[in-house]
Amino acid sequence: METIKRMAEHMYWADERILDALEESGTKNKDLLKLVRHIAVAEQVWLSRLQGKGSTQYSLWEEAEDLSEVRIMFKENAEQYRVYIEELEESKLDEIIDYANQSGVPFQTSVRDILLQVLLHGQYHRGQINRALRAESAEPVQVDYITFARL
């Protein structure tokens, strides 16, 4: 459980850092804004599934109106994941969750694997955002776990 908690803290930190980098860059790249919003919405989708709720109300690939909307989403996600993880007993990590993906296809996945998906998914997309920032001659931001661990 401690590893999951630590990785979750990294996710909250990295979400905030990538958003700061996007704001500082002043980018108007709609694909980047859509991608950072996608990270936030995907976190919501998976939490909803972990809580036994549906996720069809979420649209994973809408454009972000502005980054303040995404910042609010990240803040709320961090608060809700902290509560969920804090209340989660280690014995429940291997419990199987039944859910449907956004297309309605049913799946069964353990709580552990869902949490790992959430924790790793954003890192993949933050790397894509950093690469695009570099291509726009903006400064990418360090979001590696080791950077977080050294704080």
Exposed, middle or buried by CB within 10 Å (0-12, 13-18, 19+), for 124?
Answer: exposed
CATH number of the structural domain spanning residue 144: 1.20.120.450
- Using CB atoms within 10 Å of the CB of residue 14, give its burial: 0 to 12 exposed, 13 to 18 middle, 19+ buried: buried
Mean pLDDT of 46-59: 92
pLDDT of residue 62: 87
Per-residue model confidence as pLDDT tens digits over 107-146: 999 999 999 999 999 999 999 999 999 999 888 999 999 9
Count of the separate structural domains present in the chain: 1
Q: Is 125 annotated as a binding residue?
A: yes
Question: Given this model, what pLDDT does residue 63 score?
Answer: 85
What's the mean pLDDT in 5-9?
97
User: Would you say residue 10 has pLDDT above 90?
Assistant: yes
Q: How confident is the model at residue 151 (pLDDT cuts 50, 70, 90)?
A: very high
> pLDDT tens digits for 67-97?
999 999 999 999 999 999 999 999 999 999 9
Q: Which range of residues forms the domain containing residue 110?
A: 2-149
CB atoms within 10 A of CB 31: 12
Who has greater pLDDT, 65 or 124?
Answer: 124
10 annotated ligand-binding residue: no
> Has 121 been labeled as part of a binding site?
yes
Residue 64, pLDDT score: 87
d(CA 58, CA 51): 15
